[in-house]
Amino acid sequence: MYFNQITVPGLGCQSYVVGCPAAKVMAVVDPKRDIADYLEIARSEGMRITHIINTHLHADHVSGDQELRAVTGAKIYINDSVPIDYVHEGLSDGDVFVLGAARIEVLHTPGHTPNSVSLLVTDTARSDEPEMLLTGDLLFVGDTGRPDLAGEDLIAQQVQNLYTSLYEKFAAFPDYLEVYPAHGQGTLCGKGLSAKKSSTLGYERRANRMLRFSSFEEFKKDVTSSYPARPKSYGHIIETNRKGAPLLDTCPMDKRLEPAQFEELMREGAVVIDTRDAASFGGFHIPDSINIGFEKQLANWVGMVVEPDADILLVTDGREGYDRMTCELHRIGYDRIFGYLSGGVSSWLMSGRPVAQLGQTSPHQLADELKGKAAPVVVDVRTPAEWEAGRIAGAVHFPLTAMLEGRFPDLGKDADVVAQCGSGYRSNIAGSLMRQAGFSHVRSLAGGFFAWRGAGLPVSS
């Protein structure tokens, strides 16, 4: 049997290839939208892609099932109760696929969504006993899937489903069974995921706190106590996957735009995402652009900040950065990308067009300013948990998620503000949003709280 795990860094997506080189056939499970990896595996291992299996209707990334079918002619399989529009084959509990030495059995395991399945995989060339579970978004390494994405009216049912699938359905399987989830660290489909990409059922039973509750009521209380933030892109992604994603060659053509063309599209309402690092953005940037740089959580932050149907323009360090960013955006359903600024911000500046700045303040500079009579207001945009773990004395806590909802600190628009996060990444996003909201004197703490603490400056708790 052939088995391979393909990971998308940052977004945390994990897809799988299961097949048999001797039989020359393979299945792809939960494919990402850019499919080159699967095609290369098929070519190099001498297999044909004959099955495309979705464990559920994904909310956080656009499936590559349509791309794969268009190229390979393989059939798409998904739980037969999922309300989707495209042609597919239904999956039911107990269905079995035999791909040479690979045997795949379908288990109906609702909880993350009402229609989720897991896949029990056996390498019959080695043993008749199953070897691994592909758990989709039901069971992660260190956590379980969130039950709220199907809608508020289904949460009670979904929590019960989640408990039943984890505590009863999986109870029939031995500890040695390997666990391979559809997501790892970085996803917002769970709260406390480990950086490890796989585990065993036995270890999760011992170490995963979500599998250690003595009653359903305790489990329910914990699961429903809080959910990770839900990016505004999720509804769009669900609908895209339900209809079947458009093929990438139908998306707007890649364009290198001169400043005049770029400016005209801005006038028509396009959103400008500046992907450069915080210091470069702070030096000079196009007014009203949003700084979302190449960081591990890039896709999640785009999903938080930008409407999924927005027309998008990019400021990058060149064509390579543009190609990388468009790949990230396509994975989460942002297809209306109309080009990048040729020559970057330098060409915009040299054309005589206005630029803006987001000042960057060092920890020592800020510490000196805070001692003065006209001290700036430090706005800490981190999460409540980060705030409770330690903060700059006198800072105002106002999470970035609140700004994304259109709310801002109750300060005068001419107040001297220093936005601060953990590393400087989120504070640049916050600074961008505050500038758009009319705050005229906003800076960002370079390096954020990590740099402040690293400089040996005092921390309050």
Asked whether the predicted pLDDT for residue 77 surpasses 80, the reply is yes
- Using N-to-C axis directions, what is the helix angle for 298-305 and 425-436, rounded to 10°? 20
Instruction: Report the side by side order of strands in the sheet with 132-136.
Output: 96-99, 102-108, 117-123, 132-136, 178-181, 199-200
- Cα separation values, 330 from 38, 64, 325, Å: 17, 10, 9
Matching residue, tokens 């990016």: 231
Distance between CA atoms of 425 and 281, rounded to whole angstroms? Answer: 11
Q: Measured in Å, how far apart are the chain's first and last C-alpha atoms? A: 54
Q: Which residue has the higher pLDDT, 23 or 83?
A: 23
Distance between CA atoms of 95 and 104, rounded to whole angstroms? Answer: 8
Distance between CA atoms of 452 and 386, rounded to whole angstroms? Answer: 14
Q: For the chain, give the number of residues.
A: 461
Q: Print burial letters for 427-440: b (CB count within 10 Å at least 16), e (below 16).
A: bbbbbbbbbeeebe
Find, among 163, 88, 148, the residue nearest to 113 by Cα: 148
Distance between CA atoms of 184 and 194, rounded to whole angstroms? Answer: 7
Mean pLDDT, residues 40-49 = 96
pLDDT on residue 420: 96
- Two tokens, residue 268: 């028509």
Distance between CA atoms of 157 and 417, rounded to whole angstroms? Answer: 45
Matching residue, tokens 């005092």: 458
Mean pLDDT, residues 210-236 = 88
Mean pLDDT, residues 155-178 = 95
pLDDT on residue 289: 93
The class of domain 2-233 in CATH terms is alpha beta
Asked whether the predicted pLDDT for residue 113 surpasses 60, the reply is yes
Q: Which residue has the higher pLDDT, 228 or 159?
A: 159
Question: Model-level pTM greater than 0.95?
Answer: no
Distance between CA atoms of 244 and 63, rounded to whole angstroms? Answer: 8
Find, among 417, 425, 422, 458, the residue nearest to 441 by Cα: 417
Distance between CA atoms of 325 and 364, rounded to whole angstroms? Answer: 34
Distance between CA atoms of 381 and 325, rounded to whole angstroms? Answer: 25
pLDDT on residue 182: 93
The total of other beta-carbon atoms located within 10 Å of residue 344's CB is 18
Q: What percent of the chain is predicted at pLDDT more than 90? A: 75
pLDDT on residue 231: 80
Mean pLDDT, residues 62-66 = 96
pLDDT on residue 186: 60
- Split at pLDDT 50, 70, 90, the class of 255 is confident
CATH number for 251-350 (one of 3.20.20.70, 3.40.250.10, 3.90.550.10, 3.90.180.10): it is 3.40.250.10
Asked whether the predicted pLDDT for residue 187 surpasses 70, the reply is no
The class of domain 359-454 in CATH terms is alpha beta
pLDDT on residue 192: 64
Asked whether the predicted pLDDT for residue 421 surpasses 80, the reply is yes
- Written in H, E and C, the secondary structure of the chain is CEEEEEEECCCCEEEEEEEECCCCEEEEECCECCCHHHHHHHHHHCCEEEEEECCCCCCCCCECHHHHHHHHCCEEEEECCCCCCCCCEEECCCCEEEECCEEEEEEECCCCCCCCEEEEEEECCCCCCCCEEEEECCECCCCECCCCCCCHHHHHHHHHHHHHHHHHHHHHCCCCCEEEECECCCCCCCCCCCCCCCEEHHHHHHHCHHHCCCCHHHHHHHHCCCCCCCCCHHHHHHHHHHHCCCCHHHCCCCCEECHHHHHHHHHCCCEEEECCCHHHHHHCECCCCEECCCCCCHHHHHHHHCCCCCCEEEECCCHHHHHHHHHHHHHCCCCCEEEEECCHHHHHHHCCCCCECCEEECHHHHHHHHCCCCCCEEEECCCHHHHHHCECCCCEECCHHHHHCCCCCCCCCCCEEEEECCCCHHHHHHHHHHHHCCCCEEEEECCHHHHHHHCCCCCEC
Asked whether the predicted pLDDT for residue 189 surpasses 70, the reply is no
Mean pLDDT, residues 75-90 = 94
Asked whether the predicted pLDDT for residue 190 surpasses 70, the reply is no
pLDDT on residue 153: 77
Segments making up each domain of the chain, as ranges: 2-233, 251-350, 359-454
Question: Contact, 445 vs 424, CB < 8 A?
Answer: yes
Domains 251-350 and 359-454 share a fold: yes
pLDDT on residue 224: 87
- Split at pLDDT 50, 70, 90, the class of 154 is confident
Matching residue, tokens 């707007």: 252
pLDDT on residue 151: 73
Mean pLDDT, residues 309-321 = 91
Mean pLDDT for all residues in the chain: 92
Matching residue, tokens 């956080």: 60
Q: Print burial letters for 159-194: b (CB count within 10 Å at least 16), e (below 16).
A: bbbbbebbeebbeebeeebbbbbbbbbbbbbbbebb
